[in-house]
């Protein structure tokens, strides 16, 4: 597979992952989909690993990877391809750092668990309740003992909410890190070797012009008027010159 096609695949994969991570991080800020628990959420939510690390930080690598697989501002040809691949490789480094940040924060959040209250309380008593990271203080892992979840009363369903959303961030963070590492290698290969798609297009264009050569010669010979014959000869000469210059051949 060509380096350009690989870059486009990586970019189109990273882009939706970035938006999903941003949405997951925003949902973590509102446990159970309610706004009254905003002051009682885990520290890792405020670190914005999904919104920044695997979200905004990932937009640049994904867009650069997509551009590296198409026609960017640098134009077509060998030099343009290498320029886009180099920019994609550099941005993949920042994307890898952002995804690694998301992995660390999400893993820590899953290990520590959410902040919750042990008793049921009405909305008027929320400010007078002691909120603690319950599962961080216990010796047993709440991830494998579901019966411990019932100890957390408020916010409702906070344990499941915490586990699902941070698991999404952790999983996508790992995928993003792998894709950014792959794109770094793929971009460096593209810088050194270029994009095989452009070479194939050039050869196809050359074959097309060469194949039409005999037919064009027959057409030129069949024209009786000298002016028309000279005009066709100029068109043929310009077409062949353009193709050969595109392939790096010199005219003498």
% of the chain exceeding 70 in pLDDT: 64
Residue 116 and residue 38 share a domain: yes
pLDDT tens digits along 51-77: 998 999 899 899 988 888 775 444 455
> Is the model more confident about 116 or about 180?
180
CB 9 within 8 A of CB 50: no
Residue 217 and residue 178 share a domain: no
Residue 219 and residue 192 share a domain: no
Residue 202 lies in a domain: no
Residue 206 lies in a domain: no
Counted domains in the chain = 2
> Is the model more confident about 43 or about 140?
43
CB 73 within 8 A of CB 165: no
Residue 107 and residue 19 share a domain: yes
Half-sphere exposure at residue 85, Cβ-oriented, CA atoms within 13 angstroms: 25
Question: What is the rounded distance in angstroms from the CA atom of residue 161 to the CA atom of residue 174?
Answer: 20
Residue 218 and residue 159 share a domain: no
pLDDT grade, residue 194 (50/70/90)?
A: low
Question: What is the rounded distance in angstroms from the CA atom of residue 160 to the CA atom of residue 120?
Answer: 17
Residue 205 lies in a domain: no
Please determine, for residue 224, whether its predicted confidence score (pLDDT) is greater than 60: no
pLDDT grade, residue 200 (50/70/90)?
A: very low
* Cα 220 from chain centre: 53
Residue 110 and residue 229 share a domain: no
Taking the alpha carbons at both ends of the chain, their separation in whole angstroms is 37
Residue 223 and residue 115 share a domain: no
Residue 237 and residue 162 share a domain: no
> Is the model more confident about 117 or about 79?
117
Residue 126 lies in a domain: yes
Q: Which residue range forms the structural domain that includes residue 217? A: 212-246
Mean pLDDT of the 185-206 span:
65
pLDDT grade, residue 123 (50/70/90)?
A: very low
pLDDT tens digits along 76-114: 555 557 788 888 889 999 999 999 999 999 999 888 888
| DSSP helix/strand/coil, 210 | helix
Please determine, for residue 168, whether its predicted confidence score (pLDDT) is greater than 90: yes
Q: What is the pLDDT of residue 228?
A: 59
Residue 11 and residue 52 share a domain: yes
Residue 252 lies in a domain: no
Question: What is the rounded distance in angstroms from the CA atom of residue 60 to the CA atom of residue 222?
Answer: 57
Please indicate, yes or no, whether the overall pTM of this predicted structure exceeds 0.75: no
Residue 251 lies in a domain: no
Closest CA to 116 of 67, 60, 83, 157: 157
pLDDT tens digits along 210-223: 545 555 444 444 44
């Amino acid at each position: 597979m060509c380096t350009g096609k690989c870059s486009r695949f990586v970019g189109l994969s990273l882009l939706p992952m970035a938006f999903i991570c941003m949405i997951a991080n925003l949902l973590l800020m509102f446990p159970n989909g309610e706004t009254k628990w905003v002051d009682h959420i885990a520290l890792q939510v405020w670190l914005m690993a999904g919104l920044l690390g695997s979200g905004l930080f990932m937009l640049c690598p994904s867009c650069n990877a997509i551009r590296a697989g198409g026609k960017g501002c640098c134009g077509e040809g060998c030099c343009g391809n290498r320029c886009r691949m180099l920019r994609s490789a550099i941005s993949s480094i920042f994307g890898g750092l952002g995804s690694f940040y998301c992995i660390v924060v999400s893993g820590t959040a899953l290990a520590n668990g959410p902040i919750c209250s042990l008793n049921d309380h009405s909305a008027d008593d929320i400010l007078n309740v002691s909120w603690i990271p319950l599962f961080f203080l216990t010796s047993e892992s709440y991830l494998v003992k579901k019966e411990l979840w019932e100890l957390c009363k408020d916010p409702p369903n906070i344990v499941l909410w915490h586990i699902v959303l941070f698991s999404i961030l952790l999983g996508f963070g790992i995928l993003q890190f792998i894709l950014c590492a792959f794109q770094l290698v793929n971009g460096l290969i593209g810088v050194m070797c270029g994009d095989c798609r452009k070479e194939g297009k050039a050869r196809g264009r050359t074959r097309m012009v060469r194949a039409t050569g005999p037919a064009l010669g027959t057409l030129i010979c069949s024209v009786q008027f000298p002016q028309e014959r000279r005009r066709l000869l100029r068109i043929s000469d310009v077409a062949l010159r353009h193709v050969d210059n595109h392939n790096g051949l010199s005219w003498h």
